[in-house]
Amino acid sequence: MLVSALLSSCTPFGESKLQMVKKAGEILVLTRNSPTTYYQGPDGPAGIEYDLAKAFAKRLGVSLRIEVADRSRDIVPMIANNQADFAAAGLAVTPDRLKIVRFTPPYQQVRQQLVYRAGTTPPKNLSALQGQALDVVSGSSYIEHLQQLKLLYPSLKWTAVHDAEAEDLLIEVQQKKALFTIADSNIVALSRQFYPELKVAFNLDPPENLAWAFPDSNDNSLYNAAVKFLDDMRRSGELAHLIQRYYGATSSFTPINIAAYREKIKTALPTYEPLFQASGRKYDIDWRLLAAMAYQESFWDPNAVSPTGVRGIMMLTKTTAERLHIADPLNPNSSIDGGAEYIRDIINQLPSHIPEPDRTWMALAAYNVGTSHLEDARIITQQQGGNPDKWKDVRKCLPLLAIHAWYSKTKYGYAHGYEPVEYVKRIRIYYDVLVKMNRERRAREHNDALHIRAPAM
């Protein structure tokens, strides 16, 4: 292995590493499958590390090739052995890691946080944590940090969990299978979008720096190019924009406020109801379902823009809008028509034997998370002995796509599996309320008409 590593660090005919990458026309980047790094979104690859690496590859004029490590703890040793050009994987810079790889200057700073579930009495500080049950990812920077803290708090103890990532242990805490865990603040922030019962007891000092990791080499050409790229991204504001895009929203789902929704049905919906009805007729979809989708997406705000860049009353992504030839997603007519066409396309793509209404609920889930991840969930459902054609069974398995033991065995990997379940649930609530109010309105109109026609006594 040592000979292989030495040979791979040599450059033929005096070519620098940067020249070799450009000549090959490709850069190989090692990462991990997670919401804070790289994953398959509804419109293709996504994640802050993926976006950064893709922008760097574009700067170099080469294509990006992603390799996903099985475990986050494998990444630094793989880079040390020259198994990729560099790692973009949300890696914390630690003393132990600095012994075998070199890091760029940090592009983001996070805090390690002690996390518990609401209803549990949390420790107020590290002194109070001593002797408590604490589950931590094996081989992580958290272990390295705890080992340093143990010098000050000798009774500090923890269990190193080998078959899990930080996101998995947060779910364990959410499900009351673990009492406490430690995770980076960016991971905690994303997880709390889907598991709001997770709470932060306190931060561990000092803050952590996240950076790209490169093999230790005398050739600085590619490393220096990456350092300059990250500095340029910081100076231009693009780095801050990416961080805001992925971490700016504190929650994907605000609490359902039915009173506010009913009021909006009276005040805002009449403006857009003819558009929903026209698109519903055009694509053979209940217009009230389209209206419920639009309320979930934008609260019927035609100028809505999310931190992730989706826009308009149906919040279509740029990729989807381009595929549907929508020039202006902020135009309510175009956006509603595009959303209707998109959900109809998804419904038609699903296997023909899936019955209604399960077919519609699954299509809504795919509208949110993508058809590929829905198919992964249906496969897991079948493996678990459930019916992959029944939404009540599939919705139980979708959250498994956020757990490493499950998504590592799927074709399309990690997904925010809880999000589409909540998404469909909310749309069904909005739809049911709208159907009820629509029925009440028709009854009132009918009674009013009878009253007008009734002869005077």
Which sequence positions are flagged as catalytic?
A: 297
Residue 339 tokens, joined = 């959303």
Distance CA 47, CA 416 (A): 12
For residue 39, the cross-strand partners are 46
44 φ/ψ sector (left φ>0, alpha ψ -120 to 50, else beta): left
Phi, psi of 113 (to 5 degrees): -125, 140
Distance CA 170, CA 180 (A): 8
Would the CA dihedral through 33, 39, 45, 51 be positive or negative? negative
Would the CA dihedral through 163, 166, 171, 175 be positive or negative? positive
Contacts of range 121-128, beta carbons closer than 8 Å, 24 or more positions apart:
122/180, 122/199, 122/201, 123/180, 123/201, 123/202, 124/201, 124/202, 125/202, 126/152, 126/153, 126/156, 126/204, 127/153
Distance CA 108, CA 228 (A): 15
DSSP class of 12: G
